Structure 1
Amino acid sequence: MPDLTQVQLLTELEPVAEAELNRHLSLAREWHPHDYVPWEEGRNFAAMGGVDWEPEQSQLSEVAKAAMTLNLLTEDNLPSYHREITEYFSPDGAWGTWVGRWTAEENRHAIVMRDYLVVTRGVDPVALENDRMANMTKGAHSDDLYGLLRGVAYVAVQELGTRVSHRNTGKACNDPVADKMLQRIAADENLHMIFYRNICGAALDLAPDQAMEAISNVVTTFEMPGIGMPNFRKMSLVMAKNGIYDIRQHLDDVVWPVLRKWKIFERDDFTGRGAAARDELALWLEKTELDAQRFEEQRDRILAREAAKREWVGV
């Protein structure tokens, strides 16, 4: 049986997209960025007769600064993600309506995070703006080898990963205002994930081998969308070391939940291609489990040495 074309996939899956869109709209809670920002903490910067940012003004730890900056810069690149999604979705009907709604909701996340950081002077606003300009100028570009199927599989994984990252960042901020704000954002990301996850689940029923190949390709080569942003590796390492988002969380809290929902290792409708892709995925999962164990052991050793050093110097 020949593969379904992108047009055929879009047409066959549109009723599912419409149902998922309606479900999303029925569950999405209305909220407003200005309600999550402590405006009374705001004051002018030097250009308006005030004082420019200094590091001691921030109440955030270095871990929280890195996590908030990386998460915000990821949200900032929304125009690139909108373009990418528009390329593999139809601009019409339920597909087009969803893209518009998703874009508007994601933009709201960037608005509230930036307002919070600027008002509370959580990070250097000049450095943040310079990084935003560099990040958005570079943009995000994905491999469209599998088109729609790879796209929905990728965003299903990415949205769940973003939910985990936002939620843990909120806890790391040690600020109830930031925690409440990031809980609200994480709830949105979860609804977004469910839309894409369910579309991908329907695609597995419609074109099992095609969808399985796309899922295997996404999971085994996955990179978060902020990979090209300034200082991404440094900030990611800080987040991983401190339990914001690491390989164990990616595997246990992101990858495995979606694979179980799709019943990847229970399905019996794959032929040679799909079965081979599933086997490839299984090997990756085994390797990544070992990688996660090694990472945890190494992190524990590093944290123990740092704790011992602090005790020795009396900190």
Structure 2
Amino acid sequence: MGGDPWSPDDADIPEVARTALIVNLLTEDNLPSYHHEIAVLFGRDNAWGEWVHRWTAEEGRHGIAMRDYMLVKRMVDPVELERFRMTHMSEGYQAQHPDDALRSLAYVSFQELATRVSHRNTGRFTNDPMADRLLARIAADENLHMIFYRNLLKAALEIAPDQAMAAILEVVKTFEMPGAGIPGFQRKAIAMAVEGIYDQRQHHDDVVMPVLRFWNVFEVEGLSGEGEKARVELSEFMSDLDDSATRFTEKRDKLKARLASRG
């Protein structure tokens, strides 16, 4: 249309921030599939219907705001971004637990908080005050979504502790973000982890453990043998995750120190 072709020099942001912006936006973009999944699982009547539609409207606003700002500020290649979007959305998204309300509630409790952390840290890495404010506002919405789901699962623990504990265990052990189907996701996720936008330490300390503590999973009463077995396995898994996060952080710090020493 007669404009200037996009160039990486158009926006003075670190490459990892550009990568994170793309991952975060594409994760938001698959909204039609997300809406379908939660509408089918929870229904569209009464309070659930009001929640599903309000949540969808807010998530849609997130994607619109992010894309508009990124394109106006020329932060990303618009042609490449659209190709990524078409590829990602053409594959759709299917929930890991499409027929299980407890596992779905556990999953979105962690996922919404993980999204909040990723948005918040991405904003800080952009070196753009307005982008930081925008993503902080979006992150605040994601936190409210997390609180809604987290509170529902806490109630489920009181009503059906064994089933809820088993659901939490399975979700924690198999968790992956809904954007895992983005083209080149693993490479992008590693780049984000190396720079500290979202890594194992943050996943353990800032996402999983705060939710588990709120649910009081390691002190909850009324468990049968199977429920207690799930709790023990969850504790062991979290210990292993903590150790893995420590090893990753140590390796990353050593690598950065070596690179810094080379000037």
TM more than 0.5: yes
Residue in 1 aligned with 2:7?
A: 54
Residue in 1 aligned with 2:40?
A: 87
- From 223, 226, 235, give the equivalent of 2:188: 235
Amino acid at match of 2:95: S
- Whether contact under 8 Å (1:200, 1:211) holds in the other structure is yes
- How far residue 183 of structure 1 moved from its aligned partner, in angstroms, is 0.6
List aligned pairs for 1:111-150, cutoff 5 A. 111-144=64-97, 147-150=100-103
Runs (4+) off by over 6 Å: none
Residue in 2 aligned with 1:162?
A: 115
Residue in 2 aligned with 1:69?
A: 22
- From 137, 140, 165, give the equivalent of 1:184: 137
Residue in 2 aligned with 1:306?
A: 259
- From 243, 246, 249, give the equivalent of 1:290: 243
List aligned pairs for 1:252-263, cutoff 5 A. 252-263=205-216
- How far residue 143 of structure 1 moved from its aligned partner, in angstroms, is 2.7
Q: Deviations over 1:146-178 (max 9, x none)?
A: 611111110000000011111001100011110
- Whether contact under 8 Å (1:117, 1:123) holds in the other structure is yes
Residue in 2 aligned with 1:78?
A: 31
Shift in CA distance, 199/126, structure 1 to aligned 2, threshold 3 Å: same
Amino acid at match of 2:29: D
SS in 2 for 1:121: coil
- From 244, 249, 252, give the equivalent of 2:197: 244
SS in 2 for 1:67: helix
TM-score normalised to structure 2 length: 0.98
CA distance in 2, matches of 1:146, 1:197: 19
- How far residue 145 of structure 1 moved from its aligned partner, in angstroms, is 6.9
- Whether contact under 8 Å (1:146, 1:214) holds in the other structure is no
CA distance in 2, matches of 1:194, 1:93: 20
Q: Deviations over 1:220-243 (max 9, x none)?
A: 110011111111111111110111
Residue in 2 aligned with 1:219?
A: 172
CA distance in 2, matches of 1:194, 1:163: 12
- Whether contact under 8 Å (1:64, 1:172) holds in the other structure is yes
CA distance in 2, matches of 1:100, 1:202: 23
- From 214, 231, 234, give the equivalent of 1:278: 231
Shift in CA distance, 276/87, structure 1 to aligned 2, threshold 3 Å: farther
Moved more, 143-152 or 275-284: 143-152
CA distance in 2, matches of 1:68, 1:242: 14
CA distance in 1, matches of 2:76, 2:31: 21
CA distance in 1, matches of 2:169, 2:217: 10
Q: Deviations over 1:23-79 (max 9, x none)?
A: xxxxxxxxxxxxxxxxxxxxxxxx2x2112112112211011011010000000111
TM-score normalised to structure 1 length: 0.82
CA distance in 1, matches of 2:85, 2:244: 32
- Whether contact under 8 Å (1:153, 1:214) holds in the other structure is yes
CA distance in 2, matches of 1:308, 1:123: 31
- How far residue 213 of structure 1 moved from its aligned partner, in angstroms, is 0.8
